[in-house]
Amino acid sequence: GNSVTQMEGPVTLSEEAFLTINCTYTATGYPSLFWYVQYPGEGLQLLLKATKADDKGSNKGFEATYRKETTSFHLEKGSVQVSDSAVYFCALTNTNAGKSTFGDGTTLTVKP
């Protein structure tokens, strides 16, 4: 079956530091890959996505590249802000197969 593994948190950074959150996956076929962000007490917001190998998803300064050879989709940002403090989830969906499989989330805290 499908699975997603995220680096364990929590992650604490100073403002303007470089961020990497690792995500690797196991899936049949050719899944689409996603990063979602969840702020306290809220639902998940789509941050970025990539639908095929070597695609790069980007949004709000965050980037992730779909690496089929390493089955990875690591999230990066060059300079984090306090407002980026949240829980980040990596997820995959098999094309046309419906349900998504999520990692356990990584909590990011950015200090001024």
Partner 1 sequence: DTGVSQDPRHKITKRGQNVTFRCDPISEHNRLYWYRQTLGQGPEFLTYFQNEAQLEKSRLLSDRFSAERPKGSFSTLEIQRTEQGDSAMYLCASSSGLAGVPDTQYFGPGTRLTVL
| Minimal distance, residue 77 CB to partner 1, in Å | 20
**Residues counted in the chain:** 112
| Nearest to 25, CA basis, from 92, 89, 97, 75 | 92
Q: Which of 21, 25, 27, 36 binds partner 1 (CB under 8 A)?
A: 36
Residue among 17 and 22 whose Cβ is closer to partner 1? 22
| Minimal distance, residue 20 CB to partner 1, in Å | 19
Q: Which of 35, 74, 105, 110 binds partner 1 (CB under 8 A)?
A: 105
Q: Are 48 and 37 in contact (CB under 8 A)?
A: no
DSSP element (H, E) containing 107: strand 106-111
Q: What is the DSSP letter of 84?
A: G
- 54 contributes a contact to partner 1 by CB under 8 A: no
Q: How many residues touch partner 1 (CB under 8 A)?
A: 25
